[in-house]
Amino acid sequence: MIKVAVIGLGKMGLSHHSIVNMHPDVELVAVCDSSRFVLDMLEKYAGVRTYTNLGKMLESEALDAVIIATPSKLHGPMVRQCLEHSVHVFCEKPFCLDTEEGGQLTALAEQNGLINQVGYHYRFVGAFQEVKRLLEIGAIGTVTHVKAEAYGPVVLRPSGASWRNQRSEGGGCLYDYAAHPINLLNWYFGMPSMVSGTVMNKIFSADSEDEIYATLRFGKGLSGQLSVNWSDESYRRMTTKITIAGTQGKIYADRQECQVYLRDGKKMPADYLPGWNVSYTTELTSDVWFYVRGEEYSAQLDYFVQRIKFRQSDNVNSFASALQTDRVMQMLIVDSEQKSRELLNPRVVTEQNPPSWWQRLARAS
Amino acid sequence: MDKVLFGDNQFFGVNHMSEEKARAQSMRFRDTQAMIEVLDMAYEAGIRTFMCTTHDRISEVCDYFRKHADSYPGFKFYPGMPYAHKYANAVTDHGIAGTIKRFLPDDGLFDAVVRGGSAVAKKEIDGIATLLIDAEMKMFAGLSTPVIFLQNVVTDFLLGLGMKDAFRIFADHIKTKYNAEPGFFSMNMPRLLDVLEEVGVENPIVCTNINKIGFRMSGGIDLYQETLAHRQFRPIAMSVLASGAIPPREAIEYVCKLPKLQSIVFGASGRGNIRQTKALIDEFMAARQE
């Protein structure tokens, strides 16, 4: 049995707890959180040992692995503490707010030979996996453009501050929402060579952005557009979509379905025909041993457990892959701030204007 | 329980197949009157049970049926609580404790419970749980609610956490306070039955995915078939068509042949569809009784 502890019992932590606790290869031995009320509930009703101090838990329990689902700002130090105790780590997204620290932690996990994974669950959604497969076999030829979107109803009015709407704490629409479509772009196309035209706009939040728009360039003629808004009440829940255009066809995918248009060509995948092809969740999704809120949440934890069980170091959601996403988010922040500095300081712009006739005259003399 | 129950997913843009269809549905049912019209079609087709969530807009439907009770003899509600999305965001913003406090009718009790970070007693948590149930049930006051369900997100979440006593608390409160039968939605039916048996909820009503292709039947279709054959419970089948992946006739015939099946719940928005599905269920349910 693999001995696991969950650190951070918010929505994601409790969700992971509930799923992994039912895994046939896992014994969930302890939880760690700062809220005594939640710990009391779990101690009394679920019979699990509870801790308010991570160090104490790591000392007292012989753990094989942890699941970290604390507010994002705490990921870095907690991941380090666990890796130093030689414990395999599953960390919620975003991985690490400081990309330099993220790099060090990635190296540390690899040095210590520890399984490392980040909770980008969309890589476990059947429809998005199908997109990956189609891209790998070149089904739509050379890809020229991709649109990555995410919308949903999170911040719908001005409200009090919590970590979730403060960028400095790892909250905000960028880290919470945009991270997902960016992570899918990384999975499909790797790192962009540049980002530009980044707009990060506040709609209701005081301390973070609520919508993000940007252009990404991946080289070899491939461009991408990112469009994300978490203040969109017209969506019942978070919806992530990917649209990809290529020389031989087009792919559209969301969590429910994968729509593919293919031109007649050499690389037609099996079961696909020229023209529109649609496949749905019902056919793209594999069974899971226990279902709480979507197969992908169960599938990613099973994958983590299997990596530990069979000591497989490769991981579709490794720290290294999540670090790419952190880096793109860093690029977007820098790009958006650059724009606002120009606006605040018009002198920068004036200097780039061509010299007037008398300036040229003065220089000539 | 009636053999045919009418569901409400179509009213709230829940479609497991397509976001586009889901959006078209939420456009159509923007207005409560449009929901009532579809419920009228269901009533005309002979359906007498509406199985619904505790979505805020259901309270408007409840108002209508309270006002027009005389026109709908025999009509009943099977509420399923809670409508989980309204809690989900609150949990990330306010934590578990903060969310419970927000949804409790009187936060004095909660403050007393968590004051000073003192340890919380079991009976206090039981008390909070029953207050949350009462808050969800408010909208159904004066209506017939012979079976009251716990939604699958909550059932399966509690099942996963191993908070087995919660099922007992729910069942007892539904029986004593509402004089109704407790029911449970679940995507993990065989495992849930183990736990319900363990905490003494006998012959439970469980509404779960049952379909010919095994869609969202955790543990696999074989285990479901075996469980249906050998365990004591009252199953209601949902997702019978697997979001349209199985043709209706084939889908309903398969489910109706399974042992123990009590009822089938389905949602639809068109008169033709409602009639056809009702007729198919009647036909195959009658065949099984022969």
Per-residue pLDDT tens digits for A326-337: 999 999 999 998
Q: Is residue B137 part of a domain?
A: no
Do B17 and A281 make contact, defined as CB atoms within 8 angstroms? Answer: yes
- Put simply, whether A65 touches B (Cβ < 8 Å) is no
Report the residue of A37, A151, A164 to disrupt the B interface, i.e. the one with the largest count of B CBs within 10 Å.
A37
Cβ–Cβ contact B220 with A under 8 A: yes
Q: Which of residues 169-198 of B touch A (CB under 8 A)?
A: 187-188, 191
Question: Could you give the number of structural domains in chain B?
Answer: 1
Q: Is the pLDDT of residue A347 over 60?
A: no
B266 Cβ contact list (under 8 Å, min separation 6): B4, B5, B6, B7, B238, B240, B241, B277, B281
The average pLDDT across A139-162 equals 91
State whether A21 and B162 contact (CB < 8 Å). yes
> A230 with A155: CB under 8 angstroms?
yes
Query: Which of the residues A238, A282, A288 would you substitute to probe the B interface, choosing the one with the greatest number of B C-beta atoms within 10 Å?
Result: A282
Domain containing B194 equals 4-81+142-287
Nearest CA in chain A to B215: A282
- With respect to residue B132, please indicate whether it lies within any of the assigned structural domains: no
On whether the CB atoms of residues B51 and B78 are closer than 8 A, the answer is yes
Q: Which of A50-54, A58-62, A155-159, B221-225 has the lowest mean pLDDT?
A: A155-159
C-beta atoms of B160 and A40 within 8 A: no
Asked whether residue B99 is domain-assigned, the answer is no
With 60 as the cut, is the pLDDT of residue A233 above it? yes
In a domain, B43, yes or no: yes
DSSP A161: -
- Whether residue A290 and residue B188 make contact (CB cut-off 8 A), yes or no, is yes
- Taking contacts as CB-CB distances below 8 angstroms, the residues of chain A near B97 are 35, 37-38
CATH number, position B25: 3.20.20.100
ipTM score here? 0.90
pLDDT of residue B24: 85
Q: Is residue B113 part of a domain?
A: no
Nearest by CB to residue A282, choosing from B125, B156, B243, is B243
Q: Provide, rounded to the nearest whole percent, the portion of chain B with pLDDT above 70.
A: 93
Res A295: pLDDT? 95
pLDDT at B21 over 90: no
* High-pLDDT (> 90) share of chain A, %: 77
Residue A338, pLDDT score: 80
Query: What is the DSSP code (8-state) at residue A275?
Result: E
Q: How many Å apart are CA A220 and CA A198, to the nearest integer? A: 21
Residue B115 confidence (pLDDT) above 70: no
Contact B217 A287 (CB under 8 A): yes
A38/B95 touch (CB, cutoff 8 Å), yes or no:
yes
The pTM (predicted TM-score) of the whole model is 0.91
User: Which residues are paired to A146 by β-bridges?
Assistant: A224, A244
> Domains in chain A, ordered, with CATH?
2-121+297-315 (3.40.50.720), 123-289 (3.30.360.10)
Q: What is the mean pLDDT of residues A153-168?
A: 81
Considering only residues 154 to 183 of chain A, which have any Cβ-Cβ distance to chain B shorter than 8 Å?
A: 154, 159, 162, 164
Share of chain A above pLDDT 70, in %: 93
Using a CB-CB cut-off of 8 Å, the residues of chain A touching B168 are none
B109 belongs to a structural domain: no
Look at strands A88-91 and A116-118 and give their pairing: parallel
C-beta separation of B144 from B124 below 8 A: no
- Cα–chain center distance at B274: 19
Q: Are A268 and A287 in contact (CB under 8 A)?
A: no
Residue B92 is assigned to a structural domain of this protein: no
- Residue B245 confidence (pLDDT): 87
Task: Report if residue B55 sits inside a domain.
Answer: yes
| CB contact residues (below 8 A), chain B span 251-280, against chain A | none
Q: Alpha-carbon distance A106 to A305, whole Å?
A: 19
- Check residues B262 and B122 and name the one with the higher pLDDT: B262
- Residue A6's pLDDT band (cuts 50, 70, 90): very high
pLDDT tens digits for range B200-255 = 999 999 999 999 999 999 999 999 999 999 999 999 999 999 988 899 999 999 99
Least confident of A152-156, A338-342, B142-146, B250-254: A338-342
Q: How much is the mean pLDDT over chain A?
A: 92
* Tokens representing residue A219 in the block: 């080289």
DSSP line for A82-151:
HHHTT-EEEEPSS--SSHHHHHHHHHHHHHTT--EEE--GGGGSHHHHHHHHHHHTTTT-SEEEEEEEEE
pLDDT greater than 70 at residue B55: yes
